[in-house]
Structure 1
């Protein structure tokens, strides 16, 4: 455990437990296919419906009406500023999300490219360059004119005015943002070429003009049912032309190609359907999302400028975050499942023991990083900070010495019904299979009631418990039910009715 490792593990475990405990809610939306001239496009109901019969009733009204009336058409021209240059963390995040590279792998490749004089110093925390470095950018862009992917684009930048969003002397720390050096990028391995092209492509993007789009929002009505659709047309690709439209961030699935529409247009109802959807949990952390969380001290920040402002309060540094994550792997606190980071039994035991302790406080660790930066700039007294650390260390030591860690060798448990090979160990808050490839997890707390070891044993051995009294519904009403496994080994309720038993997904 450590002041950065522990909060990092806490973020992984907290997200994992919330994800596994998430109970999806089913809802329905009505989708109508309509057309104008030769363009067919879908529209979605603005309201959600809790049941299929409710959605079917709306479908009947729409079919009976036979047409849709356009109620409003709003067009808005928007400019998307070019992205900032990469610092190490931003490069690691994108290399993970787009290419599946670990943070450590990206760092090692970037370091090799730096030592080969292909890119600038990689262990940087700045996404900006200074004004004097800007003078070199036209030459660096010119060196890419023969690049297989970027050659045509780089040639087209020869006479344009460079965008200067990534130029700020005040935001350059010890080292400026990642850029290429202009040396020929010959003899690179496949992975080195991938990272080099990311840095080169981002440099082209950062100094290109803004991307201009026209976004259209349309509302429609039929039989008192309100529908909506959205369209987007790129007027000027700008920086998005570097990698092409296919490299754009994941599009809103509801955006479609629209014909020219005007208020009052009457459109035919060509086809209708009820879409069954479910609410989704927050996904498990990947290295990309974890690096973002470390950078912002656990705060959910999507705006790039706001994230930049938070960087001094993050946990770890660009140069150390990869090593922190790898340490969690080496100590067997976490494992990778495809791109997802999943805690092991060992990691969960540590997390459950320290999650309410100061050593796992992400925000406090972020405040330390902020204070250390201030001391480095001469804006804070080191002695005052040192005294506060002494108090903190005393408090943390006292808390940790008082922890009684749960042991797996003397805990209750039984054979795993899912994988047939592992042993399900009973902990204070969960029962979890010790076979890491299995992943069976049963939370003790279900509908505001904790299952006993006896009830957990019955569930695991027999597939269900007896009737348990005292559950509380989401609406605060008490009820009695048995707890059982469904075919995916998720817990469901079984109720005793006069006509027999029926399962209800928990």
Structure 2
């Protein structure tokens, strides 16, 4: 008998259908010489400090560096303690029994670093020594599963991948545990969370936020001049900036008195723009955020559901290329899209002989190729699934289309000794841009679409002038799209696609983990969303200000660790070398953080917690919350349509109730006045003022 172990039940059912295991048992499917079982993600993980006999936060215990890491089943919180999850224990028992009875194991967890870790941790925890093979597939279509089962690879071939996954897991444990405990000890109260990738990511958000808020705009002036030729009107912009209105007004009068503008130089060139590459996960997440407002986590979740529905290839990919053997399938996929309601007519125009091969490169395909659709046609999918599917399908058409050919014109002009310029661009052959009629992202704010036929020396009339008062602008706050770009390029602001591709191997996090890192910052209450922007909370800024000059926040160093993990996966680096480096790093950051200061746990208002007496109540924009996680007293500011001020919150927390507050609104939209008070369980209640009795 062979045991196949998948990452989740839905994938196990798909594989079981192929191998003929149709007999349903408790925790697995059986039949035709196979038992197909499943995990529920990470069933087994690294033990916590208390499992090594280390309890409480004490400086003398740091850094905590286990000589040998222990594995334990997934834990759940039970009061103040963590205990093994009953569902996990039940499934591990099923897997143990199957492993003991089988002759060989087929590993069918997700074909990537984390999927490998999920299986290997289960295998190690159960102390299994049965031989195993690897099912490595990039989609869950029946054809892909059959082909993968016919071409199973020896499990030993993926030992380096496991080494990389294990090194990542242990590094995150060492850095996260030691850094978090060190900062908590330094703060003197509360529990603070830091992480190997989490903290540099927070640093990028906070540094951009502070840079934006502290930016002092500078006013400057430019001129816009209106002219025309052959009845085609257009505007040109002065190339120089003027710092005072007085200087600008003087020069503007000179321009107006000249009455004409002369063309000094004109250049017209044809340019060809290559189609954009296929999506990897990060690029899909960035564009889904920019175009549709999807969070990175939502995009991954929707893409994963499409993968499990057999409609797209493996989503957690870091490659934007496909191999030659996959390219052979592209004509059939394009033909399938000829029935698509939005770009079906375009798909019919693509011929197999003229397909662009820019996205085809065997050497640049990593664990998985770029995101593409499968041969299955979507039916009854949700609106969100439709958006992501259509993005991937449209990108497939764009990637294999011809270049976009444009005619670009640059014109330099002179009016009364003041230089002006204008750019024009005309699309001659839309090529790949015709799929979605994509706007020209290279076009500047003041560029025009069409210009008349112009020649050097032409003298044109001045039909009007405008004085433009402008201000310098700060870099915008991070959105999830821009943050993903910064994580991918280690904080370097790169706009060129080739440069981004070249540096992405040294980014922080991986395509598979970046969404969860951002979500962790939300769950820690370090950041919030304001429309599309990511804004640090008071708590997040406190952490950042405490660590911004420390190694734990060093984006470049985190990127170097990620490169090292890739080298372990490829066999270029020994995992022990990496581990020794992480141990040294942990000792350094522990020393740094133990000497840091957290000023009161906040930068605004705070007060002692009336419930636990140990923590500090920290005031945030929407809530006031105790920083003692065992207490967790939370007071929401908004009560019946009215936000409590810091002063009112302080009265409630220090005196047990506020004064009478006017203007609350009932469910029947009637206004009333009341005080806010705590009941015995520290829940907020209204206390109403006594009514005045009417005199007879």
Q: TM-score, with normalisation over the residues of structure 2?
A: 0.59
Q: SS at 1:372's partner residue?
A: helix
2:522 to 313, 329, 352: 329
Asked if residue 254 in structure 1 is aligned to residue 446 in structure 2, the reply is: yes
* Residue of structure 1 equivalent to 2:224: 31
Asked if residue 84 in structure 1 is aligned to residue 277 in structure 2, the reply is: yes
Asked if residue 295 in structure 1 is aligned to residue 480 in structure 2, the reply is: no
Structure 1 range deviating more: 324-333 or 299-308? 299-308
1:76 & 1:250 partners in 2: Cα distance?
15
* Residue of structure 1 equivalent to 2:339: 146
Q: 1:332 to 1:435 in 2, by over 3 A?
A: closer
Runs of 5+ consecutive residues of structure 2 not aligned to the other structure: 1-193, 607-617, 624-696
Asked if residue 106 in structure 1 is aligned to residue 299 in structure 2, the reply is: yes
2:499 to 306, 313, 325: 306
2:307 & 2:572 partners in 1: Cα distance?
32
* Residue of structure 2 equivalent to 1:55: 248
* Residue of structure 1 equivalent to 2:621: 436
* Residue of structure 1 equivalent to 2:198: 5
Compute the displacement of 1:249 (Å): 2.9
Q: Which runs of structure 2 are paired with 1:150-229 in the superposition (5 Å)?
A: 150-229=343-422
* Residue of structure 2 equivalent to 1:134: 327
2:276 & 2:358 partners in 1: Cα distance?
8
* Residue of structure 2 equivalent to 1:418: none
Asked if residue 350 in structure 1 is aligned to residue 535 in structure 2, the reply is: no
CA contact (8 A) 1:30 1:58 kept: no
Compute the displacement of 1:157 (Å): 0.3
Compute the displacement of 1:200 (Å): 0.3
Structure 1 range deviating more: 61-70 or 330-339? 61-70
2:259 & 2:316 partners in 1: Cα distance?
62
Compute the displacement of 1:248 (Å): 4.0
Compute the displacement of 1:83 (Å): 0.6
Q: Paired residues, what number?
A: 420
CA contact (8 A) 1:297 1:315 kept: yes
1:274 & 1:236 partners in 2: Cα distance?
37
2:246 & 2:353 partners in 1: Cα distance?
59
Q: Deviations over 1:218-269 (max 9, x none)?
A: 0111211111111001111110011014x44373111112111001111000
Structure 1 range deviating more: 40-49 or 393-402? 393-402
* Residue of structure 1 equivalent to 2:557: 364
Q: SS at 1:143's partner residue?
A: helix
CA contact (8 A) 2:311 2:375 kept: yes
CA contact (8 A) 2:539 2:601 kept: no
Q: Deviations over 1:34-92 (max 9, x none)?
A: 00011100011111111122222122111111111111111111111111100000000
Compute the displacement of 1:383 (Å): 2.2
1:398 to 564, 585, 591: 591
1:384 & 1:342 partners in 2: Cα distance?
38
RMSD across aligned C-alpha pairs, in angstroms? 1.9
1:318 to 487, 511, 515: 511
Q: SS at 1:122's partner residue?
A: coil
CA contact (8 A) 2:542 2:601 kept: no
2:488 & 2:307 partners in 1: Cα distance?
23
* Residue of structure 1 equivalent to 2:15: none
Asked if residue 339 in structure 1 is aligned to residue 532 in structure 2, the reply is: yes
* Residue of structure 2 equivalent to 1:115: 308
Q: SS at 1:336's partner residue?
A: strand
CA contact (8 A) 2:356 2:401 kept: yes
CA contact (8 A) 1:142 1:158 kept: no
Q: Which structure has the higher relative contact order (CA within 8 Å, separation 6+)? A: 1
Q: SS at 1:17's partner residue?
A: helix
1:225 & 1:8 partners in 2: Cα distance?
46
Compute the displacement of 1:408 (Å): 4.4
Q: 1:117 to 1:413 in 2, by over 3 A?
A: closer
1:408 & 1:145 partners in 2: Cα distance?
59
1:274 to 464, 467, 480: 467
CA contact (8 A) 2:317 2:512 kept: yes
Asked if residue 375 in structure 1 is aligned to residue 568 in structure 2, the reply is: yes
1:185 & 1:211 partners in 2: Cα distance?
30
Q: 1:437 to 1:221 in 2, by over 3 A?
A: farther
* Residue of structure 2 equivalent to 1:462: none
Compute the displacement of 1:436 (Å): 1.9
Q: 1:159 to 1:377 in 2, by over 3 A?
A: closer
1:84 & 1:236 partners in 2: Cα distance?
19
1:250 & 1:285 partners in 2: Cα distance?
21
Q: TM-score, with normalisation over the residues of structure 1?
A: 0.81
Q: 1:372 to 1:435 in 2, by over 3 A?
A: closer
Q: 1:413 to 1:437 in 2, by over 3 A?
A: closer
CA contact (8 A) 2:218 2:471 kept: yes
1:274 & 1:391 partners in 2: Cα distance?
60
Compute the displacement of 1:159 (Å): 4.8
